[in-house]
Structure 1
């Protein structure tokens, strides 16, 4: 189970070979296929149960840090259906205070894909500390990246850091989907620059 959950994209032939190498057991391809399906079913059930505990988790985190910001959005496909997880935002008070007290007003905005059985994207806001090292400020887990999710994230970040219309702030990013129009709309006076490394890699 640990092997399959760590490598969810492993095919049955590779799984058969790994079982033989690591456990010294010969298994058939159909046994590998059935085992993989069983593990996926169990993991999927665990994920469903864990996402159902998100409110409890955020409640516990809020109890430990009442001045931090935690927001969660849910969707209801039908009016009477149970809520489904859509997005969650985290900005710990210690990170916020540390950034405002010791970092320049430069924010890097980026995203990355979440791998595994449950897909999604991680949006993040990162500062630069006095040693020119990355300093995490806030992050969010969203199902998809688009203008709406970036606007939601930037609006919460703007409130947490008291950014106003962006005057005196500099933003650094790639040209992510929906990010540029969200910045123009919510932080019209911020200096917004593109990351040279991303531009180079896109043209290289």
Structure 2
């Protein structure tokens, strides 16, 4: 049975990858968003150079419109039309660029440029852009020879770096014009997904500490808004397909019960797993409900009883913790089932009741793993002699329910 509460259930269809702040660079490799320099506001240093950049970009665009576009011709210095050459692809996250390197798209090239900047720390900018080609030059010194030109190559139908002058005659200034809001948003996407209260100031400090590139608090605020929008859009997309998910479950698991409902609050996961004759575990049913209470457990067990044809529970065994709502639901729906208690949960509860106290771990598990009544009685006696107070607390928790997990009392 795959089930969710139709009245108050909520489907957790999103599985975000977890990453730490130290992994922000790895996130960028898979998800870096490099936005169009013409359309995105450039306010990297809190200065008014954003308008200057926009005017410069527009001037370049006008100049390109007036000239014939020869980007499809391979420049002589690319040395890439030798027939049998094997081309170098883009290794995401490496930050390495070289002459003749090929890409599947201009966007992939721009992502590689961002990786290069994060690795090397140089301030560069786009001086040509479009769907067929892109050019990057030094953003500090007009006389600096650094230049990378990437364009579509007809013979191989890929985008190729055709000009690559990697020598910088300038000094690093601790800034970079290709680090836009969208890039920062993608770098911190998982951090913000994990902690929506993550502050822009903390983003700014983390970025500058890791990459030695200055960004502004305004950039981080805009980046956080974009990251939250991306996260919300992902949730919306996933939840919009919940009915498709239901049909896919039924198609792959015939005769299953699948109920789908949504709620705008976080839910609680209920699950049942089975154990076969080889002591191997497998999932049987799961549900996300509004909260864990008697009603939700009764609803869950009713479906479980129906789908597995458990009737009153005769001949079956359930092992669980001592959650009162669950115990009540089992008693109500499966009155004849053999209900055993999980020894690990019982021991964990004892540790919470007696924090800092040395508990008889070995003696406890000697009781739980006893395979006959005599062995079990000896283990109980030794446990009682070790600490009478802990023994009395254990007796309150139905020790037969604990011990029958192993020895079937």
Q: Same fold (TM over 0.5)?
A: yes
2:270 to 113, 120, 123: 123
Q: For 1:145, what is the secondary structure of its paired residue?
A: coil
How much does 1:28 deviate? 3.6
> 1:128–1:135: 8 Å Cα contact kept in structure 2?
yes
> 2:265–2:290: 8 Å Cα contact kept in structure 1?
no
Matched, 1:32 2:220: yes
Q: TM-score, normalised by structure 2?
A: 0.36
Task: Give the distance between the partners of 1:27 and 1:49, measured in 2 at CA.
Answer: 31
Task: Give the distance between the partners of 2:297 and 2:223, measured in 1 at CA.
Answer: 39
2:340 to 187, 193, 196: 193
Instruction: Provide the residue aligned with 1:105 in structure 2.
Output: none
Within 5 A, what are the aligned runs for 1:1-204? 1=186, 3-5=188-190, 8-9=194-195, 11-12=198-199, 13-72=201-260, 74=261, 85-86=262-263, 119-176=266-323, 178-204=325-351
How much does 1:158 deviate? 0.9
* Cα RMSD for the two superposed structures: 2.7
Q: Give the 3 Å change call, closer, same or farther, for CA 136–63 of structure 1 in structure 2.
A: closer
How much does 1:157 deviate? 0.9
Task: Give the distance between the partners of 1:172 and 1:139, measured in 2 at CA.
Answer: 16
When Rg is computed on C-alpha atoms for both structures, the one with the higher figure is 2
**Larger RCO, structure (CA 8 Å, separation 6 or more):** 2
**1:159-192 deviation per Cα after TM superposition (whole angstroms, max 9, x unaligned):** 1111111111111112336211111111111122
> 2:269–2:286: 8 Å Cα contact kept in structure 1?
yes
How many residues are treated as equivalent by the alignment? 163
> 1:123–1:139: 8 Å Cα contact kept in structure 2?
yes
Task: Give the distance between the partners of 1:177 and 1:37, measured in 2 at CA.
Answer: 43
Task: Give the distance between the partners of 2:315 and 2:273, measured in 1 at CA.
Answer: 17
Q: Give the 3 Å change call, closer, same or farther, for CA 177–45 of structure 1 in structure 2.
A: farther
How much does 1:56 deviate? 2.0
Q: TM-score, normalised by structure 1?
A: 0.67
Task: Give the distance between the partners of 1:169 and 1:153, measured in 2 at CA.
Answer: 17
Q: Give the 3 Å change call, closer, same or farther, for CA 154–30 of structure 1 in structure 2.
A: farther
**1:49-97 deviation per Cα after TM superposition (whole angstroms, max 9, x unaligned):** 321221122123323443233222x3xxxxxxxxxx15xxxxxxxxxxx
> 2:272–2:286: 8 Å Cα contact kept in structure 1?
yes
Q: For 2:322, what is the secondary structure of its paired residue?
A: coil
> 1:145–1:177: 8 Å Cα contact kept in structure 2?
no
